[in-house]
Amino acid sequence: MANTTKVQRKLLRFIENTIVYGILILIAIIVILPVVWIVLSSFQQGTSLYSSTFIPKKLTLVHYKELFTKTDFPIWYMNTLKIAFFNMIIGVIVTTLTAYTFSRYRFRGRKEMMIGMLILQMFPSFLSMTAIFVLLTKLQLVDSHWGLIIVYAAGQIPYNAWLVKGYFEGIPKSLDEAARVDGAGHLTIFWKIIMPLARPILVLIALTNFTGPWFDFIFPKLILRSRFKKTLAVGIFEWVQGRADNNFTLFAAGSLLVAIPILILFVFLQKNIVEGLSQGATKG
């Protein structure tokens, strides 16, 4: 009887594991298959994504060569890289200082300002499009990369400041007090005590600020007007409207090049991203 029960448990465990792993494999195939299809299509001859075989019979780099020699893709790429880089730098500095101020200092209006930031992050950013456009027009920053960078850097403050503040709250304040006893000032404590301990959350904020401009279409479309100031999202969208009906493989090559920098960053910074996101969220 005991042996029969043991066999039944093993059978049930085998069935459960088979179902779970089967579902996971199916989900993985659904996610990975379109990506592999786009990658292989970018090396395929011709202009269509469809061919008689899943793996192209003959691979070619002609679409990548055409991207850099016959289109504005390099200009869009450099524009996006520039906006993403400066948004990352400015965003991390502003967010870190804001979060540190709310985490370590007590001043009049602090609670009201934090509630205001909490409310602000609940509204979709496109609700402010009209106000942003009018403001940038007054500042003569329409059709300017710096106008777009300012919008991105300012827009990310409410959510990211709350996230980083939560992480800072998890750093013992006894470290600050010990440093003050040793004669350290506010700037020394912030730079030499807090910043090294907050590396995971800073990496997460830097990455989200860097990746944002690569995928955003609404604000670049609203702010940027001239041909040579477009970002990848706007350029590729307009390019798709005009050309993709007869050039899907070129579009696949461009999409793959867009994804490469983001993929590299996620692979190398995965540990810090997971740690920063989990600790920043739980300690908030």
Q: pLDDT tens, 201-217?
A: 888 899 889 988 888 88
The pLDDT mean for the chain works out to 84
On whether the CB atoms of residues 189 and 180 are closer than 8 A, the answer is yes
Q: What is the pLDDT of residue 260?
A: 85
Q: What is the pLDDT of residue 52?
A: 64
Check whether 183 has a pLDDT greater than 90: no
Q: What is the pLDDT of residue 280?
A: 57
Main-chain dihedrals φ then ψ at residue 13, nearest 5 degrees? -65, -40
CB atoms within 10 A of CB 150: 20
- pTM flag (> 0.85): no
Q: What angle do CA 111, 112, 113 make, to 5 degrees?
A: 90
pLDDT band of 163, cuts 50, 70, 90: confident
Q: Any bridge partners for residue 44, and if so which? A: 59
Cα–Cα dist 73/227, whole Å: 11
Please give the average per-residue pLDDT across 256-269, as a whole number. 84
Q: What is the pLDDT of residue 1?
A: 58
Check whether 40 has a pLDDT greater than 90: no
On whether the CB atoms of residues 43 and 61 are closer than 8 A, the answer is yes
Cα–Cα dist 60/44, whole Å: 6
Check whether 87 has a pLDDT greater than 90: yes
Cα–Cα dist 236/123, whole Å: 28
CB atoms within 10 A of CB 242: 10
On whether the CB atoms of residues 67 and 257 are closer than 8 A, the answer is yes
> Tokens 């403001």 appear where?
135
Give 219-253 as a DSSP string. Answer: HHHHH--SGGG--HHHHHHHHHHHHGGG-HHHHHH
Q: What is the pLDDT of residue 11?
A: 87
Check whether 48 has a pLDDT greater than 90: no
Check whether 277 has a pLDDT greater than 70: no
What percentage of the chain has pLDDT greater than the value 90? Answer: 19
| Token digits of residue 247 | 């050039």
On whether the CB atoms of residues 273 and 203 are closer than 8 A, the answer is yes
Q: pLDDT tens, 140-149?
A: 888 999 999 9
Check whether 282 has a pLDDT greater than 80: no
CB atoms within 10 A of CB 255: 17
Q: What is the pLDDT of residue 97?
A: 92
Q: What is the pLDDT of residue 26?
A: 94
Give 81-97 as a DSSP string. Answer: HHHHHHHHHHHHHHHHH
Q: What is the pLDDT of residue 148?
A: 92
Give 193's Cβ-side CA count (13 Å radius).
21
